[in-house]
């Protein structure tokens, strides 16, 4: 079964850090671009970051550039999002998602999400 499972969310103070993980199974992980998308409480979907199959190309939303870092460990079938200098506005459910085929494509598999709350 094709599956993505996120972990690593929690409550963190402003300025703090978290490392989110997304474990993949059921497909050839190294062949796919992976994405992080977040959704604030009661809000819509916002793209955060993406990484290519071999981990050599990354992209970020302007709102997280310089604070978040995406990485991929194909030996562990896991994609990570290192979130530093967290702000209240980063509070959201963070989903990882698989890009369907190529770099520019729809997101066909989504994890259940992990909640990040930034508050003092």
Position among 29, 111, 114, 116 found at the interface with other proteins (CB under 8 A):
111
Question: Measured between alpha carbons, how far is 118 from 15 in angstroms, rounded to an integer?
Answer: 9
Give the contacts of 65 (CB within 8 A, at least 6 positions apart).
none
Q: Are 96 and 7 in contact (CB under 8 A)?
A: no
Among 8, 16, 53, 59, binds other proteins (CB under 8 A): 59
User: Which residue, 29 or 107, is less far from other proteins as judged by CB?
Assistant: 107
Indicate whether 44 belongs to the interface with other proteins (CB under 8 A): yes
Which residues contact other proteins by CB under 8 A? 35, 37, 44-47, 59, 61-62, 95, 97, 100, 104-108, 110-113
């Amino acid at each position: 079964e094709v599956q993505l499972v996120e972990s690593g969310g929690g409550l963190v103070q402003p300025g703090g850090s978290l490392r989110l993980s997304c474990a993949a199974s059921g497909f050839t992980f190294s062949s796919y671009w992976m994405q992080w998308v977040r959704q604030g409480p009661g809000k819509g979907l916002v793209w955060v970051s993406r990484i290519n199959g071999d981990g050599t190309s990354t992209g970020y939303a302007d709102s997280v550039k310089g604070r978040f870092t995406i990485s991929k460990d194909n030996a562990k079938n896991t994609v990570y999002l290192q979130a530093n200098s967290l702000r209240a506005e980063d509070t959201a459910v963070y989903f990882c998602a698989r890009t369907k085929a190529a770099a520019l494509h729809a997101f066909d598999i989504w994890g259940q999400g992990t909640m990040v709350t930034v508050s003092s």
